[in-house]
Amino acid sequence: MGAPPIPPTPAGTDLTGKTAIVTGGNAGLGLEAARQFLTLKAARVIIAVRSPAKGKEAVAELKADPTVKKVNPNAVIEAFPLDLDDFQSGADFVRKVKSEVPELDILLNNGGTNVLKYHKSASGHERVMQVNVYTHFLISLGLLPLLISTAERRGAPTHLSFVGSSMQSSHSLAKKPLAPNESVLQHFDDQKTYNPMTRYQDSKFMVNVLVRGLTKVVGEENPKVIVNHMCPGLVSTGFDKDLPVWLKPLMYMYRRISARHVSEGARTLIYATAVEGPESHGKFLANNVISSGEVPFLDEAAGKVFTEKAWKDLVTESSRYLPELSQYA
């Protein structure tokens, strides 16, 4: 049982002189991805974290890692505050990065949550969508100019990558489309139609929607920024901490039997952000292989209409917090 093994990152993969940001970087896949970026000699790694105390602990852990100390002792390792539950925090994060980070080679949108109960975010939207999708959208669009300028300076493309999931294929939109005159945010905010068993899948479906929209903004040919998303598979992390108490033992046993170790799962993130080139632009990767046809709905007429609507709705909402994003409407 279990997923196919993920091979080691190809020899010669080198991030010398490069800067990477990892959201949700204080634990699990995010922390391990940050560690692996550092072992590949990234000059600066910034983990975006909600808790300053946990961020400080994670930075100390990364600095104390034996391999990091051996191969990259002079790396700059920092934690920047970011609460993905809040658009305003995302806007503040973008402003901090733009003022303090002159170059950005990798933006890895890793942070996420999965709760089987309806909650509203600090911004007033359904929490899973806010954390997994909306704030990452604002951050990505807000930092896109920095990614582009860095690519122009390097003479090579930078990377904007999202942690997605093959579970996106189980989304609810084909069966429960938007009502007439209903915005995408209204649809997912509606507690009456909220389904806890499909919300996570819907959030990863929305990640696919964002990747498609960002790909068009960047340009589909010869991109300065490679935009992609990947599935790390089932991984042994603390991601189940917000699940109901009765479900946690079941998930624990399932992960014990089927899950990848966090170091192996993180290699899929490294592959998408540091190995894959323009061939992965706008694409989804599963087991380090470019995949297609995961969500047929998005290639249908109704799916294309939904994608355009989602983009406009999210730009409109995000522009309330970062007015400069209105140029992307």
Over its length of 329 residues, how does the chain's per-residue pLDDT go in tens digits? 467 899 999 999 999 999 999 999 999 999 999 999 999 999 999 999 999 999 999 999 999 999 999 999 999 999 999 999 999 999 999 999 999 999 999 999 999 999 999 999 999 999 999 999 999 999 999 999 999 999 999 999 999 999 999 999 999 998 889 988 999 999 999 999 899 999 999 999 999 999 999 999 999 999 999 999 999 998 865 555 555 665 555 555 444 555 679 999 999 999 999 999 999 999 999 999 999 878 999 999 999 999 999 999 999 999 999 999 999 99
Residue pair 150/278 in contact by the 8 Å Cβ criterion: no
| Residues in the chain, total | 329
Q: Is the Cα torsion angle 111, 114, 118, 119 positive or negative in sign?
A: negative
Q: What is the pLDDT of residue 303?
A: 93
DSSP run (H or E) holding 290:
strand 289-291
Instruction: Quickly count: other Cβ atoms within 10 Å of residue 7's Cβ.
Output: 10
In three-state secondary structure terms, 6 is coil
Spatial CA neighbour of 142 closest among 88, 189, 184, 188: 88
Task: For helices 52-64 and 28-39, give the axis angle rounded to 10 degrees.
Answer: 40
Q: What is the dihedral of CA 248, 253, 257, 261, to 10 degrees?
A: 50
Instruction: Quickly count: other Cβ atoms within 10 Å of residue 155's Cβ.
Output: 6
Spatial CA neighbour of 291 closest among 300, 299, 282: 282
Residue pair 79/132 in contact by the 8 Å Cβ criterion: no
Q: What is the pLDDT of residue 240?
A: 53
**Single-letter amino acid code for the residue at 24:** G
Q: What is the pLDDT of residue 294?
A: 82
Q: In what order do the strands lie in the sheet with 106-109?
A: 76-81, 44-49, 19-23, 106-109, 158-163, 225-231, 283-286, 289-291
Residue pair 19/44 in contact by the 8 Å Cβ criterion: yes
Q: What is the pLDDT of residue 244?
A: 60
Q: Taking every pair of C-alpha atoms in the chain, what is the biggest distance, in angstroms?
A: 59
Give Cβ neighbours of residue 243 (< 8 Å, ≥ 6 apart): 114, 115, 116, 251
* 158-163 and 225-231 beta bridge pairing: parallel
Q: What is the pLDDT of residue 320?
A: 99
pLDDT digits (tens, 9 = 90+) for 296-308: 999 999 999 999 9
pLDDT digits (tens, 9 = 90+) for 85-136: 999 999 999 999 999 999 999 999 999 999 999 999 999 999 999 999 999 9
Instruction: Please list the active-site residues.
Output: 200, 204
In three-state secondary structure terms, 76 is strand
Query: What letters, b where the CB count within 10 A reaches 16 and e where it falls short, cover 268-299?
Result: bbbbbbbbbeeebbbbbbbbbeeeeebbebbe
Q: What one-character-per-residue DSSP string does 27-74 give?
A: SHHHHHHHHHHHHTTBSEEEEEES-HHHHHHHHHHHHH-HHHHHH-TT
Q: What is the pLDDT of residue 174?
A: 86
Domains by residue range for the chain, with CATH: 19-322 (3.40.50.720)
CA pair distance 105, 44, nearest whole angstrom: 10
Q: What is the pLDDT of residue 285?
A: 98
Q: What are phi and psi of 235, to 5 degrees?
A: -130, 145
Residue pair 161/147 in contact by the 8 Å Cβ criterion: no
